[in-house]
A and B are shown apart, each in its own frame.
Chain A
Amino acid sequence: MNNTADLKEAIDSIDQMVVTMVSMIEDGDFLAEGIGTFLPTSAYMLAKHTHAPNCTSLCPNGNTLMHGTRQLTLGSDEFSTVPDAMMWLDYVQINLVFMPTIFIGGRPRWTEFMRPAQVDPWGATNNVCIGPYDRPRVRLPGSAGIPDASTVARNFYYYVPRHTQEVFVAELDFCSGAGNSRDGSPASSPKMITVITNLCVMASGSRGQLIGIALHPGVSKAQVAANTGFEIEWIDSPAITAPPSVKQLQLLNEVIDPLGLRHLESLGGASRRNRLRELSRISKKVPA
């Protein structure tokens, strides 16, 4: 971030993404948090504070099932979840029992927003490598459970805080998240893949390819096109997403995430590490 205007724009687009996620959460959903993914976790907490108080969260920092809400912390979520958990699981129980039951069994409705490094026109994703697998230009941390979940779930959500041509590519370098079949045969019923970006919302069309369904306020289709590495179709009248309300912003800034940890998601590399150092100092001054 070079100047205040850029920073303000990034902050606004993060909160816009948060409230767009909130609008997709239904009361009673099983909300699976990522680890260190503050943006969707902010959305889950906001949904629980407002229209969806009956959701259960799976908090992977302690693998706990949690009712209720909590304030986001920098690296101590485990301490604020485990002692209050309804249930406390290990990863074999999660992977061999809970996840298959939910993904394949289909109940309860499971909602999780995952962050991909690349997305192709059919909603397939990559979190493994940029460039050839054997000698990648950039090795990414890895795909964790995305291959397991994306191949069986009927509904799948992604989020992309920086919508660029490097993320939205015609061909993936490696497929670690299953998309829809490229043959686009109308007989096959495509899974519903939804991608929320800092510019727009895309979702699987009837042939399975991603199409634009909504724009964030002030964003044009041309802006999306210029930042997408493949041609994108739009529904006839794309919606304009609702901006955050005063109440939503108040809950985010004062109750859920006063440190602004969700804004880390618009930063990468050294600028993220520098911000983490600042936040670490700030959070030490805040009494627990």
Chain B
Amino acid sequence: MDKTASLEAAIACIKNGMRIGLGGMTLYRRPVLAAIAIAAAELKDLEVVTLTGGIETDLLVGAGCVRTLRSCYTGLEVAGFAPHFTRCIQNGSLELIEETEYTLSYAVQAAAMRVPFLPMLGVIDQTDIASVRKDLKKFPCPLTGADLYAVPALSLDVAIIHTSAADQFGNCNFQGQLGIDTYLPMVADLTIVTTERIVSTDELIAMPGAVQIPGLTVTHVVKAPGGSLPTSCLPSVSLDMEALLDYADAARDEKLWRDWLSDAKRRVVL
């Protein structure tokens, strides 16, 4: 089945209050154009799930689309703090579910397995993480009696992933940083893929890494060259450091931010 769609049609499937998962890692292969389209559609009260949040997450926070964020790190990596995230946590307007690399990986794996939780070692009690994660329930291991924590399964309404290439059926190739992207479609009701290029299935299979996400889990394929910018998309798109720094400066100033966001929205036609 042909799953190609316009960005507008794909984003129209996302409703206020949904839980959306964003692919990529820090400054690599982030679905930035899709995030801008969500901001342009003025969606509200989203719960954003991302192993690490970067510019795509921060701009959604700055545009007022996000109620709750789940991540174990949100920042602009070498370029420092994510300004909107930092400000909104400090002023109490953004709820953060404090993840670690393990808690989010366990939660997604549990959802993929269709089990209610996966057990994590009780040693996390040596930190303050469990004290701010009341949803992690401590229980004795039925085999050894040792303390364990149940990490609840986490499924998504929509997964949004940017890829190097895809075919019209939704089969995806990406190279470089994989993040947890190959798992997101398995736990999502809808999966929107934005892609640098739409190619034939044969071309896809010949690429390094071949098919990383099978089309049968994908619902929308949107052609979006440069859709990860300013973040990279191996092999064709390099990080645009200056554009990232422009964002970092703009997001710290009310007027500059309004200008940045309205310019960005003009990149997407809705």
Contact = CB atoms under 8 A, between A and B. Distances in A.
B179 interface: yes
A264 B179 CA distance: 26
B75 A141 contact: yes
Given A145-B100, A175-B128, A152 B123 contact: yes
A143 interface: yes
Interface string A242-276: 00000000000000000000001000110011001
Contacts, number: 166
B176 interface: yes
Nearest to B230: A75
B121 interface: yes
A179 B72 CA distance: 20
A82 B89 contact: no
- Main SS of chain A's interface residues? loop
Contacts of A174: 128
A79 B245 CA distance: 21
Nearest to A76: B238
A64 B81 CA distance: 26
A90 B249 contact: no
A204 B100 CA distance: 25
A128 interface: yes
Contact of B85 (A62, A139, A143, A145): A139
Q: Size range of the interface on B?
A: 35 or more
B78 interface: yes
Interface residues of A, number: 58
Contacts of A36: 26, 77-78
A61 B177 CA distance: 6
A24 interface: no
Interface in B155-184: 175-183
Interface string B19-39: 000000111100000000000
Nearest to A142: B73
B5 to A, nearest CB: 26
B137 to A, nearest CB: 17
B98 interface: yes
Interface stretch (A2-10, A46-54, A129-137): A129-137
B116 interface: no
A141 B81 contact: yes
Interface in A117-151: 124, 128-129, 133-148, 150-151
A76 B127 contact: no
Q: Which 9 interchain pairs have the tightest Cβ spacing?
A: A141-B75, A178-B126, A75-B239, A145-B101, A36-B78, A90-B178, A95-B105, A139-B89, A142-B73
Interface of B: 25-28, 51-52, 71-75, 77-82, 85-86, 89-90, 92, 98, 100-102, 105-106, 108-109, 121, 123-124, 126-129, 132, 175-183, 208-209, 232, 234-235, 238-239, 241-242, 245, 248-249
28 contacts: A61-B28, A75-B78, A78-B28, A78-B232, A82-B234, A83-B208, A90-B178, A90-B179, A90-B183, A91-B105, A95-B106, A124-B127, A134-B92, A135-B90, A136-B90, A141-B81, A141-B82, A142-B74, A143-B100, A144-B72, A144-B73, A147-B100, A150-B126, A150-B127, A178-B123, A272-B80, A273-B80, A280-B245
